[in-house]
Structure 1
Amino acid sequence: MLDQDRVRADTPGCAGQVFLDSAGSSLPPTVVVEEVVAHLRREAEIGGYRAAAERADDLADVKVALAQLLGARADDLALVESATRAWSDFFYAVPLTAGDRILISEVEYASNAIAALQRARTTGATVEVVPSTPTGEIDVEALHRMLDERVRVVSLVHAPTNGGLLNPVREVVELAHGVGALVLLDACQSVGQVRVDVHDLGVDALSATGRKWLRGPRGTGFLYLRPELAQTMEPAALDLHGAQWAERSGYRLAPDASRFEFWECSVAGRLGLGAAARYLLRLGIDEVEAAVSARAEFARTELAALPHVTIRDLGGHRSGIVSFTVAGVDPGEAREALADNKITVTVSGRGSTYVDMTRRGLDGVLRASPHYFNTFDDLERLVAAVAGLAGT
Structure 2
Amino acid sequence: MEPRDLRETMPALESSVYCNWGAGGPSPRRVVEAAESALEYHEYEAPAAEGMYPAAVDVYDDARAAVADLLGCAPSEIALTQSTTDGINRVAGALEWTEDDVVVRTDLEHSAGVLPWQRLEREAGVDVRVLETEAGRLALDDVKAVAAEATLICVSSVTWTHGTRLPIGEIVDIAHDEDALVLVDAVQSPGQGPVDVREWGADFVVAAGHKWLLGPFGAGFLFVRDGVERDLVPAAIGYRSVADEDDGDYRYAAGAQRFEIGTASPAPHAGLTEAIDVLEDVGIDAIQRRVEALTDRLKDGLTDDRLLSPRSYESGLITIDVAEPEQEVDRLADRGIVVRSLPKPDAIRASIHAYNTSEDVDAVLEAL
The TM-score normalised by the length of structure 1 is 0.87
- Measured in 2, the distance between the counterparts of 1:249 and 1:16 equals 56
Aligned to 2:308: 312
Residue 56 of structure 2 contacts residue 266 of structure 2 at CA under 8 Å; is this kept in 1?
no
Aligned to 1:64: 65
Aligned to 1:340: 334
Aligned to 1:222: 221
- Greater mean alpha carbon deviation, residues 46-55 or residues 258-267: 46-55
Q: C-alpha offsets along residues 209-257 of structure 1, whole Å, 9 cap, x if unaligned?
A: 1100111001110000001123442211111210256344532111121
Q: C-alpha offsets along residues 164-197 of structure 1, whole Å, 9 cap, x if unaligned?
A: 1111101100000001000100001112112110
Aligned to 2:130: 129
- Measured in 2, the distance between the counterparts of 1:346 and 1:104 equals 24
Aligned to 1:147: 147
Aligned to 2:159: 160
The count of corresponding residues between Structure 1 and Structure 2 is 366
Change (3 A) 1:128 1:178: same
Residue 299 of structure 1 contacts residue 383 of structure 1 at CA under 8 Å; is this kept in 2?
yes
Residue 137 of structure 1 contacts residue 315 of structure 1 at CA under 8 Å; is this kept in 2?
no
- Measured in 2, the distance between the counterparts of 1:333 and 1:183 equals 38
Letter in 2 for 1:346: R
Aligned to 1:185: 184
Aligned to 2:360: 378
Q: For structure 1, which runs of at least 5 residues remain unmatched after alignment?
A: 350-356, 387-392
Aligned ranges for residues 239-318 of structure 1 at < 5 Å?
A: 239-243=238-242, 246-304=245-303, 310-314=306-310, 318=314
**SS of match in other structure, 2:205:** strand
Change (3 A) 1:110 1:252: same
Aligned to 1:176: 175
Letter in 1 for 2:108: V
Residue 24 of structure 2 contacts residue 211 of structure 2 at CA under 8 Å; is this kept in 1?
yes
Aligned to 1:111: 112
- 1:209 equivalent to 2:203? Answer no
**Displacement after TM superposition at 1:340 (Å):** 1.5
**Displacement after TM superposition at 1:89 (Å):** 0.6
- Measured in 2, the distance between the counterparts of 1:317 and 1:52 equals 45
Residue 192 of structure 2 contacts residue 291 of structure 2 at CA under 8 Å; is this kept in 1?
yes
- 1:324 equivalent to 2:320? Answer yes
Letter in 2 for 1:324: I
Aligned to 1:354: none
Q: Percent identity?
A: 28
- Measured in 2, the distance between the counterparts of 1:202 and 1:154 equals 13
**SS of match in other structure, 1:61:** helix
Q: For structure 2, which runs of at least 5 residues remain unmatched after alignment?
A: none
Residue 137 of structure 2 contacts residue 166 of structure 2 at CA under 8 Å; is this kept in 1?
yes
**Displacement after TM superposition at 1:12 (Å):** 3.0
Aligned ranges for residues 337-376 of structure 1 at < 5 Å?
A: 337-349=331-343, 357=344, 362=345, 364-376=346-358
- Measured in 2, the distance between the counterparts of 1:60 and 1:315 equals 41
Residue 295 of structure 2 contacts residue 313 of structure 2 at CA under 8 Å; is this kept in 1?
no
- Measured in 1, the distance between the counterparts of 2:312 and 2:185 equals 19
**CA RMSD of superposed structures (Å):** 2.1
